[in-house]
Amino acid sequence: MISPMILIVLPAALLLDLVLGDPPRLPHPIRWLGRAIDYGEPAFRKLPFSLVVCGAMFAGIYVLGTWLVVYVLVSLAGQLHPWLRVGLELVLVYFCLSIRSLAQAAEAVVHGFMRLGVKGAKDKVRLIVGRDVQSLDRTGVFRATVETVAENLVDGVIAPLFFAAIGGAPLCMAYKMINTLDSMIGYKNEKYLEFGKAAARLDDVANFLPARLAIPCIALAAQILARDGRQAFRAACDDGHKHASPNAGYPEAAFAGALEVKLGGPNYYGGQLVEKPYIGAAYRSVTMMDIRKSCDLMILSALVCFTTLYILLIGWHALT
């Protein structure tokens, strides 16, 4: 059963993220997840099974273990005092959100370009993308930034809100473990092609619904901002499937339609050219101003998603 305390936790966590973002000096549970992955990977690789099985065990144990640890901590806090549980869940869900930090990272690319041109923008964009940035021109840097804002709307906002709404901090943190595993070992390279296969598939499954729930949220936000929500929705339906990921293409395509820009296309990863189709191929190239527009669209889409989930939660508790 969904705890009614989540009706306090969700808005408070969202407000904290919008106001504070991700202060670098504070201890961060998501960084702890990353350190745990680094620590455990060598041991799981040595197990007497195939790399695929070892990776599946690694991902499964870490995700279930994260849920269990957080569930026990939240339950113990609740036994001490109900408001202690609320405070703990609030902090954990807050750390799973990244609206302000995502907008700040995108804005840093703009500032880097304004100070040092393409070189300054590349120095900032390399911190938030997985592709090689050496060969990117100005348009490529701007396009990579907008794509990152669109993709991370799901990973850093909609999915955490969704899982927190249905399972509180334990499920939200388990999702972030899935997401962190994918970002660290879910690569299709020689080192992780087999070991990271389960983590990548688990991330695909976890983001399947949130990525598609993002489409109407982005379309409504685009309608509010520019009265162009129908185009965002149509682009997501037409081009969302063109991405190599089963999920990332949908928010990207919705952003492409809303902003009327061309995203996707060939990029270098690890020195290898990866041919990918363009999303919104009929639209114009991305400009620097589109980065700020994408941030506005991301923030409003996040608020639309939160409002929708919150209304549904209120309705659920009114009926139960």
> Which of the residue ranges 13-22, 167-176, 310-319 would you say has the lowest mean pLDDT?
310-319
Query: In terms of Cα–Cα distance, which of 295, 298, 275, 287 is closest to 121?
Result: 287
CA distance 160 to 155: 7
Q: What is the pLDDT of residues 109-148, one digit of tens each?
A: 999 999 999 999 999 999 888 888 888 899 999 999 999 9
**Does 1 map to a domain?**
no
Q: Is 289 helix (H, G, I), strand (E, B) or coil?
A: helix
User: Quick one: pLDDT band at residue 1, thresholds 50, 70, 90?
Assistant: low
The one-character DSSP state at 285 is P
CA distance 133 to 127: 10
Reading the block at residue 82, the tokens are 């109900």
The one-character DSSP state at 156 is I
User: Quick one: pLDDT band at residue 4, thresholds 50, 70, 90?
Assistant: confident
Q: Is 176 helix (H, G, I), strand (E, B) or coil?
A: helix
Q: Are 242 and 256 in contact (CB under 8 A)?
A: no
Reading the block at residue 300, the tokens are 């409003």
Range of the domain at 240: 6-319
Q: pLDDT value at position 184?
A: 94
Query: In terms of Cα–Cα distance, which of 86, 67, 80, 70 is closest to 9?
Result: 86
* Strand 263-264 to 272-274 pairing: unpaired
Q: What is the pLDDT of residues 254-308, one digit of tens each?
A: 999 999 999 988 877 777 777 788 999 899 999 999 999 999 999 999 999 999 9
Query: Phi/psi class of residue 277: alpha, beta or left (left: φ > 0; alpha: ψ in -120 to 50)?
Result: beta
CA distance 208 to 147: 18
Q: How many helices (H) and strands (E) does the chain have?
A: 11, 4
pLDDT at residue 5 tops 80: yes
Which single residue is written with the structure tokens 């201890």?
27
Helix (H) or strand (E) holding 143: helix 138-153
Number of folded domains that form the chain: 1
Q: pLDDT value at position 2?
A: 64
**Does 12 map to a domain?**
yes
Q: What is the pLDDT of residues 45-78, one digit of tens each?
A: 999 999 999 999 999 999 999 999 999 999 999 9
User: Quick one: pLDDT band at residue 26, thresholds 50, 70, 90?
Assistant: confident
